[in-house]
Amino acid sequence: MTEENQGVRERYLEHMVESASPEGLVMMLVEGAVNFIRRAMIAHEKERYDELNTNLIKAQNIYLELVLSLDLDAGEFAENLALVYQYLYNLLIEANMEKNIDKMEQGLKVAEQVRDLWKETIEKAKEGEEIKVTVGNLPDSVDPSEKMKTGVYEPSGDKKIVESEGSAEDAPSRLNLTG
């Protein structure tokens, strides 16, 4: 890409971000994370580990920003969403360190579910529907036979991600953002 084209692209993206609604910004972020994970998986196939690293770090940064921007006082859904974001953050760190395609695939699966959740929520809001936000709206968890522990959290079978030892009520105060 030429410098001129890069400049045009950067101005276009800057305009998109500046003019986007808060919901639009979240949608851009979750879609971007999905795309970065996909790019990392392609880089893994081509054994381009520098590209893999760069793309996974970009996805990790998105989930870190999303968890830090959540209002955890908003209730159980926000608390559990924070745990989903942290799960993805930690999983992608591990996938990057280990160059583990299975962890990337798991991350992509959950990232796509998060994206779809936000897409559905935004569409309902635009249609004027009342949005009932519940823990059940969170991404499906990993099949218990395929559990992959990451950090201090692991997916559980009831559609929310909680600390492996403890309850969901206790988890938000013990968020481990350092991986």
51 within domain boundaries: yes
Domain with 152 in it: 3-174
13 within domain boundaries: yes
pTM of the model: 0.70
Report phi then psi at 35, rounded to 5: -65, -40
What is the pLDDT, as a whole number, of residue 25?
Answer: 87
75 within domain boundaries: yes
What is the pLDDT, as a whole number, of residue 163?
Answer: 35
Structure token pair of residue 171:
């988890």
What is the pLDDT, as a whole number, of residue 18?
Answer: 62
166 within domain boundaries: yes
179 within domain boundaries: no
Cα separation of 104 and 41, whole Å? 7
CATH of the domain at 135: 1.20.120.340
What is the pLDDT, as a whole number, of residue 84?
Answer: 92
Cα separation of 33 and 51, whole Å? 15
95 within domain boundaries: yes
Which residues, in sequence order, are bridge partners of residue 150? 153
User: pLDDT under 50 in the chain at which residues?
Assistant: 135, 141-179
Count structural domains, the chain: 1
Structure token pair of residue 120:
């559905």
121 within domain boundaries: yes
